[in-house]
């Protein structure tokens, strides 16, 4: 069930009739507000001025095309969270463009012709099911090599055994997407990951984007915690430490944008500002530690855990059922 808040969805297609079709169909979905653009430049302007929760774009347009929009978004070059769902569609897409889109973790491809019912099901599915997206720095390092049909990055490419794409060109609603396991270790160990912090089941802040940011922060903290238990190499710990700091920055960014457009929730935002103020201080301290030394790592993990326990309670979170009832 989608919460009662409004989701902002941007549709982009240089064929005006298709753009109007997307706009009209998605506008019939409850709690969805649709923005439309008939070219990539207008889409970039909208992404710079509006908080968008999902991007649906044709892949083949005059520059910037849908692939370029996806690249800029995933690299954090647009004024929106880089990990929002991105759905692409095209009737005659070159295989190279499809493969390159996969390297930037496009959430789904929509095959033309689209039915109204099929489109609505796709939108609802991707609003309710999160795909794990890497940090912007990962995408900035991608160098796509068409003749080899592969994407190379500055960091080691995951083996076929450890990496599986969750994207497929399909016409029906896919089965619920399995969460990608946290990449905890540098070897092929299948040790059960440990959980230091946890987002309560069936809980929400009342804001979808904040929920997503908190979930990602929890993933980053738990991943760093497990690397620490594994006594991984300092370079791996440092990379994961940076991801925690990035997750904190995005949480602050999203919270500020939502707060500027949210009213009548003074108690919530007062608590939020107090907690993220402390989290910001924690993030600055984290950025200074040397992960080579466990004596520095463990106290900061404890501080993060304590912050989490003190934060995940009222008025910051409440049950989803209660939130739906109140809204």
Asked whether residue 207 falls in the same domain as residue 66, the answer is: no
The pLDDT value given to residue 77:
93
Q: Are residues 264 and 311 in the same domain?
A: yes
How far is the C-alpha of 39 from the C-alpha of 41, rounded, in Å? Answer: 6
What is the model's pLDDT at position 2?
A: 54
pLDDT, one tens digit per residue, over 160-196 is 333 333 343 333 334 444 334 334 334 444 456 788 8
Say yes or no: 165 and 212 in one domain.
no
Q: E strands within 117-197?
A: 143-145, 150-152, 169-170
- Domain with 112 in it: what CATH number? 3.40.50.2300
**Residue from 138, 307, 125 nearest 217 by CA:** 307
Kindly state whether residue 181 falls inside one of the protein's structural domains. no
DSSP code at position 85: -
Together in a domain, 46 and 152: yes
Does one domain contain both 58 and 136?
yes
Helix axes 266-286, 294-311, angle to 10 degrees: 180
pLDDT score for 4: 65
27 and 140 in a single domain? The answer is yes
Shared domain for 62 and 161, answered yes or no, is yes
- Whether 31 and 92 share a structural domain: yes
User: Which of residues 124, 153, 170 is at a domain's end?
Assistant: 170
Do 40 and 141 lie in one domain? The reply is yes
Classify residue 138 as left (phi > 0), alpha (psi -120 to 50) or beta. alpha
The domain spanning residue 308 has which CATH number? 1.20.120
Tally the domains of the chain.
2
Same domain, 149 and 12: yes
User: Over the stretch 276-322, which tens digit does the pLDDT of each residue have?
Assistant: 999 999 999 988 888 888 888 888 998 999 899 889 888 888 887 66
User: Mind listing the pLDDT tens digit for each residue in 43-81?
Assistant: 999 998 899 999 999 998 888 999 999 999 999 999 899
- Write the pLDDT tens digit of every residue in 76-120: 999 899 999 999 986 555 677 888 899 999 999 988 777 899 999
| Integer Cα distance of 7 and 241 in angstroms | 31
The pLDDT tens digits for 1-47 are 455 688 999 999 988 888 989 999 999 999 999 999 999 999 999 99
Expressed as residue numbers, the domain containing 265 is 203-326
118, 148, 170 - which closes a domain: 170
On whether the CB atoms of residues 255 and 223 are closer than 8 A, the answer is no
pLDDT at residue 18, rounded to an integer: 87
Neighbours of 80 (CB within 10 A): 23
């Amino acid at each position: 069930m989608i919460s009662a808040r409004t989701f902002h969805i941007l549709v982009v297609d240089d064929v005006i009739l298709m753009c109007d079709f997307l706009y009209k169909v998605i506008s019939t979905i409850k709690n969805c507000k649709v923005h439309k653009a008939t070219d990539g430049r207008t889409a970039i302007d909208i992404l710079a001025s509006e908080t968008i929760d999902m991007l649906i774009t044709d892949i083949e347009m005059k520059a910037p095309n849908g692939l370029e929009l996806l690249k800029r978004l995933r690299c954090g070059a647009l004024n929106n969270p880089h990990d929002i769902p991105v759905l692409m569609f095209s009737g005659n897409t070159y295989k190279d463009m499809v493969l390159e889109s996969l390297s930037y973790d496009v959430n789904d491809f929509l095959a033309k012709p689209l039915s109204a019912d099929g489109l609505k099901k796709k939108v609802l599915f991707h609003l309710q099911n999160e795909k794990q997206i890497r940090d912007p720095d990962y995408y900035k390092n991608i160098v796509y090599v068409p003749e080899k049909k592969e994407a190379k990055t500055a960091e080691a490419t995951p083996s076929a055994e450890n990496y599986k794409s969750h994207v497929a060109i399909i016409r029906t609603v896919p089965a619920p997407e399995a969460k990608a396991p946290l990449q905890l270790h540098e070897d092929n160990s299948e040790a059960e990951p440990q959980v230091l912090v946890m987002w309560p089941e069936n809980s929400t802040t009342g804001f979808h984007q904040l929920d997503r940011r908190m979930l990602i922060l929890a993933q980053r903290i738990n991943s760093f915690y497990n690397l620490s238990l594994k006594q991984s190499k300092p370079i791996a710990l440092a990379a994961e430490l940076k991801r925690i700091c990035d997750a904190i920055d995005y949480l602050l960014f999203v919270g500020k944008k939502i707060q500027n457009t949210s009213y009548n929730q003074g108690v919530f935002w007062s608590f939020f500002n107090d907690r993220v103020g402390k989290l910001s201080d924690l993030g600055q301290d984290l950025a200074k530690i040397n992960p080579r030394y466990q004596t520095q790592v463990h106290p900061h993990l404890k501080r993060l855990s304590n912050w989490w326990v003190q934060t995940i309670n009222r008025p910051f979170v409440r049950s989803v059922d209660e939130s739906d009832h109140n809204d």
